[in-house]
Amino acid sequence: MDAAVDVLLERWRGFIDDALARHLDTVGDRDGVRPPARLLDAMAHSLLAPGKRVRPLVVLAAATAVLKDETRALERAMPAALAIELVHTYSLIHDDLPALDDDELRRGRPTLHVAFDEATAILAGDALLTDAFAVLAAAGASAVHELAQAAGSAGMVGGQLDDVAAEGTTPSIEALARIHAKKTGRLFEAGAVLGGLCAGGNGDELVRLRALGRHLGLAFQIADDLLDVTAGAAADKGTGRDARHDKATWVKLLGDEAARARAHAEADAAVALARGFDAAALAALCRRSVARTR
């Protein structure tokens, strides 16, 4: 079963990559006005970089969990999957800027402001964010509202600001969970709900998918905190980026062992909800959120 799920998810990842490339090939207004070539090149640098595509995969897996017809589910949910990856990529571009994390590498490649320049990076991020909602409009007003709430001031952006404000501090576990529920979890939550919405899910199904996304997002963030420590050690830097910026992290608060246990508990809760849908792909994504090596 795991091998079959691996093949399925890899096939879906290919569909997502193809959709992202098509978006850049066709983006423009109804009069056929294309974006400037330099802007498209900058967008492609980040959007088409090799990635796990976890968030759009969650959208597709949630849609198939509800609809049980893969072809129809993927057709209905692909605009939402594409939109959420556009939003995620914009957030990475802006996070990497000197004013925030000041990172020079992303996915093994120069970050966008290094490869191009800061102004182009800001504008490419703005373009990806705005284009996301043009793409998502095909899925209807409820989907647009869901992603806007997740990505906006009370969601991911607000969580990013809280994360910056928490640097150099040691918040309570409850406070850190609230920060990460917005910064990371809210987009996972939206991904699960968007998949359900696109598949015509009912109220109870959407409630369960929202809870699944919330647990999955927190598991993913804690795993990221743990991976940052590993990456720092592997690079012989002694500490990872989080420690160098004195970020508030689960490792800082709990230590490696307890943080790993909390990540597994969150992932287990998400898997249990996925099993309620009899959805192997969705359950696999939840399990793998804490089994990552990058």
| pLDDT tens string 166-184 | 999 999 999 999 999 999 9
**Contact in structure between 118 and 98 (CB atoms under 8 Å):** yes
pLDDT at 242: 78
pLDDT at 133: 97
Q: What is the pTM of this model?
A: 0.94
pLDDT at 171: 94
| pLDDT tens string 63-108 | 999 999 999 999 999 999 999 999 999 999 999 999 998 889 887 8
Domain 2-288 architecture: Orthogonal Bundle (1.10)
Residue 18, pLDDT above cutoff 70: yes
What average pLDDT does the chain have? 93
Separation of CA 277 from chain center: 22
| pLDDT tens string 123-149 | 999 999 999 999 999 999 999 999 999
| pLDDT tens string 142-159 | 999 999 999 999 999 999
**Contact in structure between 128 and 135 (CB atoms under 8 Å):** no
Number of H helices, E strands in the chain: 15, 2
Rounded CA separation 198/195 (Å): 5
Rounded CA separation 190/64 (Å): 16
